[in-house]
Amino acid sequence: MADWLVDRPRGWLRRVNQAETAAELDALRLCVARGRPYGGAEWAERTARRLGLENPFRSRGRPRKEKAGDEA
């Protein structure tokens, strides 16, 4: 494997060899299924905008129709 172009983060080997929690695994699966960047919410949204990937953050499908009487 080639050398890194930047300094390797402290504790890198320990982190990448650590098992994911159930919540992390669920989040990873959702990101893969939707084509979203994986990371903190702010970073992921900023990265998606920069890469033109804004659609993965929208709800799937058509917006729900409002029922009669639900109007504001």
pLDDT digit string, tens, across residues 31-60: 898 888 888 888 888 888 888 876 656 666
Structure tokens at 14: 């320990």
Comparing 9 with 70, the larger pLDDT belongs to 9
pTM given for the model: 0.55
Give the DSSP H or E segment for 14: helix 12-16
User: What is the phi-psi region of residue 35: left when phi exceeds 0, alpha when psi lies from -120 to 50, beta otherwise?
Assistant: left
Domain ranges of the chain: 20-53
Tell me the H-state helices in 17-69.
22-34, 41-51
How far apart are the C-alpha atoms of 11 and 36, rounded to whole Å? Answer: 26
Instruction: Read off φ and ψ for residue 49, nearest 5 degrees.
Output: -60, -45
